Structure 1
Amino acid sequence: MVSKPNLLRGLALGAVVLGMAAPRAQAQTADRKTALSANIGLLQYSGNMGSDFWNRSGNDLSVGGGGTITRYLSPSFDVAVLGYYETYKFSSELTKGSNFEARIGMVDLGLKLKLNNGKILKEDAFIQPYLMGGAGMFLANSSGQVSGKGFGVTQIRRPEVFGLAGLRFRLSDAVYLDLTTSQHYPFTERVDNLSSPSDKLYDRFLLHQAGITVALGKMQDEDKDGVSDKKDKCPGTPAGVAVDPNGCPLDKDGDGVPDYQDKCPDVKGVAALQGCPDRDGDGVTDADDACPDTPGKAELKGCPDADNDGVIDQNDKCPNTPAGVSVDANGCPLDRDGDGVPDYQDRCPDRAGPASNKGCPEIKAEAKKILNEATKYINFDFNKATLKPSSYPKLQQMVQIMNDYPDYSLSIAGHTDSKGADNFNLGLSYERANAARAYMLSKGIPADRIEARGYGETKPIADNATAAGQALNRRVDFDPYLTGETNAAEVKYGAAPTIQEIKATGKPVPTRANKVVPKKAPAKKAPMKRK
């Protein structure tokens, strides 16, 4: 005989040993559909001789054994084949001299309802309740006595039905401890050899079992993450990546970026920044953002730069600099010559000058006087464009002025009196202006800094009716202007093509010998007092 306490202790120890030794595998599932159980059990009888249901005081408790084969059907249902055998003895306390001994076997087919189906409890819950019901065969050889009168061995082969309630304890992914109680109702009265006057079948049995269940089979797990392919919602997980029960990579901060790809796994962030946070949404992670609460530019460590000059707003002392202007470290436009006129507005960024002259040095009074009086000293042979030698000193002075003021250009405009034909006078004015220009070019002044044009007799400064007036009208004007500004002759006299412009069109420059007349100048203005 084995007492129930010793039985349970031995069963528990065996369960623990099996749980530690079992390989890692998923429980009985669609991948591992078959499970085997080995059980130790105790039968209890209730019938016409009496009952020992739930009676734990007897010292002659016998022990039986059984096994179960279970097949997975779905998360909620399994089908099982159950077998059990025990030699059972019962002595009646109601009627002296009544007892029996039976060698009992039961083979049943049952349908199991699992409560750990993912709807009531998780499939991998530690405690997994279940219910089972079914039918099978009750097999027994029974002998004994009734009221002191013995009866021989009786063979019993009868159908039975049963109901079972069980608790399964998950010891590992593949090994379980099962505790069950089932009631079996065989369709017979012959176990105790007593019949009821009402012909009712009273022989019933309780079966209490404890057992170890091991799930068999091989789980399909292509990505080797420990979650079967049928349950794996993320089947392509890289090797070695920790996953959740659904086979998806862990994401501790819940930002949608798995931990193995998340550079900030403990703080919720955005996928575009590999899981790192970006409060101001400027594409720069907060950890790298010098202005984390204000949208800015990546190249400026996430700080704003409203005028796009490369200096962040908080350091920009000139925040409204026009686009494309070069600035210093304070965000202010560069001023190389330090004259207070920024380079982008300074016509002479490398030479200091007042803002009134667009940042360029002003021509000194002495030089202006030379230019203004030059017309008096530039002389030509009569009716010719040949410079007289007396003109050279003054022209040389003008060459020096052009060298001293490299940011200026010079306008040379030729004029005649009204004597002679208009075309002759126009050609003569061009030739004389060009003669003065050619001299200065020969002294090294760049051609693009001197423009020559002729106005003929159209722009008199005195009355042509007198010889004195005609003398004043026969002149060549020399007017400086900042390179890039409007030509000084056009400002004074209006439009007239320069020699360069005429040549660019492929037309001949007016001369006294040809009849080509350039674009007519505007109508004559009132004579101007010569400065």
Structure 2
Amino acid sequence: MKHLSRFLVASIFVLGLSTANAQNEDNPWAVSIGINAVDIFPTGGDLISQGEIFDEFFNAGDHWNILPSVSKISVGRYIGDGFTFTVAGSVNKIDNAGELPDGTLVDVDDLSYYAVDGRISYSLQKVLNTGWFDPYLGVGGGYTWVDELGAGTLNGSLGMNFWLTENLALNLQTTYKHVFEDYEVTGVTPTHFQHSAGLTFAFGGKDTDGDGVYDKEDECPDVPGLEEFNGCPDTDGDGITDAKDDCPDTAGTAEFNGCPDTDGDGIADPKDECPTVAGLANLNGCPDADGDGITDAKDGCPNEAGPAENNGCPYQDKDGDGVLDKDDNCPDVAGTVANNGCPEVTEEIQKTLNQYAAQVLFDSGKSTIKDESTKVLNDIIAILKEYPTAKFTVEGHTDSAGSAKLNQRLSDSRANAVKNFLVENGVDQFRLSAVGYGEDKPIASNSTRAGRAKNRRVEINLVKN
């Protein structure tokens, strides 16, 4: 018995350390181990001299029979709604069976005592709204052997669990065991009180993920978590459960649903295109130093405001003519606003062109340009290039000698010969047109040699819009 007691105490102690709740829905199983005391006197019996019911109920020194070792063990299963079913076994020795009317104690010769009992009990803990104090009432029955005779009993119990921790309680219980049949074992009636004291260990709750929170209360029963989050995990430790955390692996704030804002610009890192540099919400968290609406990373001139179509840079006016390059048809040549940034052909330039053009010589009766005209043609080309957007007409004229048809054909040929020379030497062909007027536009009298010489000419005239 001594070794059995030690084994039971050690086993239940280990069992108690592995559990985490009082006996309830979460920890439905409980094991109790302790000692018991059998008291035959205050039962109102009449086979021998006994007191009235509850008489000298607490007279442990004279009436209680106690073994000096572990003598009672029970196993209970929580049923629900405060009810528990318990099976208990106990052993004892009866040395004191009461007292005679004159007060003499009735001694018996070490009668053996064995009992197996079943009980359904109801906890008053929730009714009384208590925490550590857990009283209960129980009814049940059992079978008790005193020496070699046994009898069935109807039992009524009153007990109390004092929960020292969430799974460990001190248990005190008293049970009245009543026998309806009259029989006598060496003058002892089986009707008696049995008191017990011991330790109760609750266990058996289901905790699938092993996080110490039972499945019934665990909002994340398959994933280890924390008690303060009802069993759900908080991987990054920011106080927001992973299920509600938009950034479960990176600590953040509740303001951003668990995500960080590294640069402190009020935009959570996952939505911030520039998470390490403070920026603007309308630019997805990126900065815009010059305030032109283009992020610095995409701005060709981050410190100077400029339009997006110019890559964030301000438009220039390279030629300084007051017309921005974007609107300047001649960005490299100073011009006028009226002429879209291009220089305007003045009357003097027009006059100079025709002075040069008048010096272009042709072979007699032909459209072949003489070599000595090359220099003056190059001077014409130089002037035309100074006005890159201006358009000109090369006009051919003749005197009245010969037929008008022949003169028309000759003027056309000479005008085209000059145009071709200019185009071949760098003038855009789309800026030039050629036309012959024959003898229709004389500038002098065809009656004199000098006049006819003036009428045989080429002119280069500006085409005005």
Q: What SS does the corresponding residue of 1:47 show, helix, strand or coil?
A: coil
Partner of 1:96: 103
Compared CA separation, residues 326 and 285, structure 1 to 2 (3 A): closer
Please give the alpha-carbon distance, in whole angstroms, between the structure 1 residues aligned to 2:122 and 2:405: 122
Is the 8 Å Cα contact of residues 78 and 112 (structure 1) preserved in structure 2? yes
Q: What SS does the corresponding residue of 2:198 show, helix, strand or coil?
A: strand
Please give the alpha-carbon distance, in whole angstroms, between the structure 1 residues aligned to 2:132 and 2:277: 50
Please give the alpha-carbon distance, in whole angstroms, between the structure 2 residues aligned to 1:422 and 1:165: 142
Please give the alpha-carbon distance, in whole angstroms, between the structure 1 residues aligned to 2:29 and 2:266: 53
Compared CA separation, residues 83 and 57, structure 1 to 2 (3 A): closer
Match of 1:179 among 165, 171, 179: 171
Match of 1:213 among 177, 201, 208: 201
- Deviation of the 1:440 alpha carbon: 3.0
1:129 aligns with 2:134: yes
Please give the alpha-carbon distance, in whole angstroms, between the structure 1 residues aligned to 2:35 and 2:25: 28
Compared CA separation, residues 214 and 471, structure 1 to 2 (3 A): same
- Deviation of the 1:136 alpha carbon: 2.0
Q: Match of 1:85, as an amino acid? A: V
Q: Match of 2:171, as an amino acid? A: L
Partner of 1:234: 220
- Deviation of the 1:160 alpha carbon: 1.2
Partner of 1:435: 417
Is the 8 Å Cα contact of residues 38 and 192 (structure 2) preserved in structure 1? no
Partner of 2:460: 477
Please give the alpha-carbon distance, in whole angstroms, between the structure 2 residues aligned to 1:79 and 1:285: 64
Compared CA separation, residues 137 and 27, structure 1 to 2 (3 A): closer
- Deviation of the 1:96 alpha carbon: 3.0
- Deviation of the 1:269 alpha carbon: 2.0
Q: What SS does the corresponding residue of 1:300 show, helix, strand or coil?
A: coil
Please give the alpha-carbon distance, in whole angstroms, between the structure 2 residues aligned to 1:334 and 1:19: 87
Match of 1:370 among 352, 368, 371: 352
Match of 2:281 among 279, 291, 295: 295
- Structure 1: which 5+ runs fail to align? 1-10, 142-152, 194-200, 480-488, 493-531
Compared CA separation, residues 387 and 301, structure 1 to 2 (3 A): same
- Deviation of the 1:87 alpha carbon: 4.0
Q: What SS does the corresponding residue of 2:171 show, helix, strand or coil?
A: strand
- Deviation of the 1:272 alpha carbon: 6.8
Q: Match of 2:134, as an amino acid? A: P
Please give the alpha-carbon distance, in whole angstroms, between the structure 2 residues aligned to 1:317 and 1:384: 65
Compared CA separation, residues 453 and 39, structure 1 to 2 (3 A): same
Compared CA separation, residues 224 and 139, structure 1 to 2 (3 A): closer
Compared CA separation, residues 465 and 340, structure 1 to 2 (3 A): closer
Root-mean-square deviation (CA, aligned residues, Å) is 5.8
Please give the alpha-carbon distance, in whole angstroms, between the structure 1 residues aligned to 2:113 and 2:407: 148
Partner of 1:261: 248
Partner of 1:40: 35
1:386 aligns with 2:368: yes
- Deviation of the 1:288 alpha carbon: 4.0
- Deviation of the 1:434 alpha carbon: 3.8
- Deviation of the 1:41 alpha carbon: 3.7
Please give the alpha-carbon distance, in whole angstroms, between the structure 2 residues aligned to 1:30 and 1:68: 19
Please give the alpha-carbon distance, in whole angstroms, between the structure 1 residues aligned to 2:160 and 2:405: 129
Partner of 1:161: 155
Q: What SS does the corresponding residue of 2:380 show, helix, strand or coil?
A: helix
Is the 8 Å Cα contact of residues 261 and 274 (structure 1) preserved in structure 2? no
Compared CA separation, residues 82 and 326, structure 1 to 2 (3 A): same
Please give the alpha-carbon distance, in whole angstroms, between the structure 1 residues aligned to 2:17 and 2:420: 108
Which stretch shows the higher mean deviation, 280-289 or 344-353?
A: 280-289
- Structure 2: which 5+ runs fail to align? 1-5, 45-50
Is the 8 Å Cα contact of residues 19 and 204 (structure 2) preserved in structure 1? no
Is the 8 Å Cα contact of residues 155 and 178 (structure 2) preserved in structure 1? yes
Q: What SS does the corresponding residue of 2:282 show, helix, strand or coil?
A: coil
Q: Match of 2:326, as an amino acid? A: Y
Partner of 1:500: none
Compared CA separation, residues 259 and 464, structure 1 to 2 (3 A): closer
Q: Match of 2:34, as an amino acid? A: N
Q: Match of 2:156, as an amino acid? A: F
Is the 8 Å Cα contact of residues 86 and 118 (structure 2) preserved in structure 1? yes
Compared CA separation, residues 236 and 137, structure 1 to 2 (3 A): closer
Please give the alpha-carbon distance, in whole angstroms, between the structure 2 residues aligned to 1:339 and 1:131: 104
Is the 8 Å Cα contact of residues 411 and 452 (structure 1) preserved in structure 2? yes
Compared CA separation, residues 284 and 389, structure 1 to 2 (3 A): same
Q: Match of 1:249, as an amino acid? A: P
- Deviation of the 1:389 alpha carbon: 4.6
Aligned length: 429
Which stretch shows the higher mean deviation, 389-398 or 106-115?
A: 106-115
Compared CA separation, residues 429 and 30, structure 1 to 2 (3 A): farther
Is the 8 Å Cα contact of residues 86 and 105 (structure 1) preserved in structure 2? yes
Is the 8 Å Cα contact of residues 116 and 128 (structure 1) preserved in structure 2? yes
Compared CA separation, residues 185 and 41, structure 1 to 2 (3 A): closer
- Deviation of the 1:36 alpha carbon: 3.3
- Deviation of the 1:139 alpha carbon: 1.2
TM-score, normalised relative to structure 1: 0.58
Q: Match of 1:47, as an amino acid? A: T
Deviation per residue, 1:133-176 (Å, 9 max, x gap): 341214153xxxxxxxxxxx89451231334444263647xx62
Compared CA separation, residues 298 and 165, structure 1 to 2 (3 A): same
Please give the alpha-carbon distance, in whole angstroms, between the structure 2 residues aligned to 1:189 and 1:63: 26
- Deviation of the 1:410 alpha carbon: 5.4
1:55 aligns with 2:58: yes
Compared CA separation, residues 95 and 433, structure 1 to 2 (3 A): farther
Partner of 1:110: 119
TM-score, normalised relative to structure 2: 0.64
Partner of 1:84: 90
Please give the alpha-carbon distance, in whole angstroms, between the structure 1 residues aligned to 2:263 and 2:101: 80
Could you tell me the percent identity over the aligned residues?
A: 20
Please give the alpha-carbon distance, in whole angstroms, between the structure 1 residues aligned to 2:287 and 2:56: 80
